[in-house]
Amino acid sequence: MQLSKVIGLARKNSIWPLPFATSCCGIEFMATMGSTYDLSRFGSERLAFTPRQCDLLMVMGTISKKMAPVLRQVYIQMAEPRWVVAVGACASSGGIFDTYSVLQGIDQVIPVDVYVPGCPPRPEGIIDGILRIQELVENESIRRRNSPEYQELLKSYGIS
């Protein structure tokens, strides 16, 4: 039994999310946390609202250009290892709002791991996104965060 497998198993079943809920997808997230589509059975019982203590940044809702620096600041404050899931069409690509004031996808400012499409996505869709994050977490090598490819990725976003 390799140590990395044990670590992967432990990490994937105890992800603490930070719900960065701005608009309608946030209400669907509240329904996901309720009893019918319980999210805490996957280990995400404790929702932290502080970036210093959580692993997964769930961006739910439209991010406007006024909000983008705030989002970047929250991402920079998170400690490694950190993952990002973009829930909803607005966070993935700007959604139906192709306007002057909406950021067309959060991957313009931070690196994203999983995109969940939908407007708003059904709670089953959000849970599917979390399950894919769990797959990524389980199979990630422990050395990934120090590797040169990852440092390149962060540098391309201007986060060093």
Partner 1 sequence: MAEVKHNIKLPKESLEKTTQTINLGPTHPATHGVFQNILEIDGEKIIQATPTVGYIHRAFEKIAERKPLYQVTPLTDRLNYCSAPINNIGWHLTVEKFVGIDIPARAQYLRVIIMELARISDHLICNSILGVDSGAFTGFLYIFQYRELIYEIYEEICGSRLTTNIGRIGGFERDFSETAWTKINKFLDEYPRVLKEFEDLFNRNRIFIERTQGVGGISAERALAYGFTGPNLRAAGVDYDVRIQKPYCRYQEFDFKVPVGTTGDCYDRYLVRNEEMWQSISLIKQAIQKIGELKGEEATKYHADAPDFYLPLKKDVYTKMEALIYHFKIIMGEVDIPAGELYNAVEGANGELGYYFISDGGRSAYRLHFRRPCFIYYQAYPELVEGSMLSDAILTMSSLNLIAGELDA
Partner 2 sequence: MLNSKFVLDKLIEKFGEVITGYEESFGLMAIHADKEFNLKILQFLYDEEDLAFRFLTDLTAIHYPDHKGEELVVTYLVYNMTQNFHIRLKFALDINESNIYTASQLHPTANWLERECYDFFGVNFVGHPNLIRVMNVDEMDYFPLRKEFPLEDQTRTDKDDEMFGRGGHFNFGNFSV
Question: Going along 25-88, which residue ranges are E strands?
Answer: 56-60, 83-87
List the end-to-end C-alpha distance of the chain, in Å, as a whole number: 35
Decide if 130 contacts 101 (C-beta within 8 A): no
36 binds, among partner 1, partner 2, none (CB under 5 to 8 A by kind): partner 1
104 binds, among partner 1, partner 2, none (CB under 5 to 8 A by kind): partner 2
Positions touching partner 1 (CB under 8 A) are 20, 22-24, 26-28, 30-31, 34-36, 49, 61-62, 64, 66-67, 70, 74, 96-97, 99-102, 119-120, 122
61 binds, among partner 2, partner 1, none (CB under 5 to 8 A by kind): partner 1
In the bound state with partner 1, the residue whose beta carbon lies nearer, of 6 and 27, is 27
Tell me how far apart the alpha carbons of residues 27 and 16 are, in angstroms, rounded to a whole number: 19
Q: Are strands 83-87 and 56-60 parallel, antiparallel or unpaired?
A: parallel
Asked if residue 66 binds partner 2 (CB under 8 A), the reply is: yes
Q: Which of residues 77-136 bind partner 2 (CB under 8 A)?
A: 98-101, 104
Burial of 66 (0-12, 13-18, 19+ CB in 10 A): exposed
Distance of closest approach, residue 123 Cβ to partner 2, in angstroms: 31
Distance of closest approach, residue 136 Cβ to partner 1, in angstroms: 24
Nearest to 19 by CA among 70, 77, 87: 87
Instruction: Tell me which residues touch partner 2 (CB under 8 A).
Output: 65-66, 98-101, 104
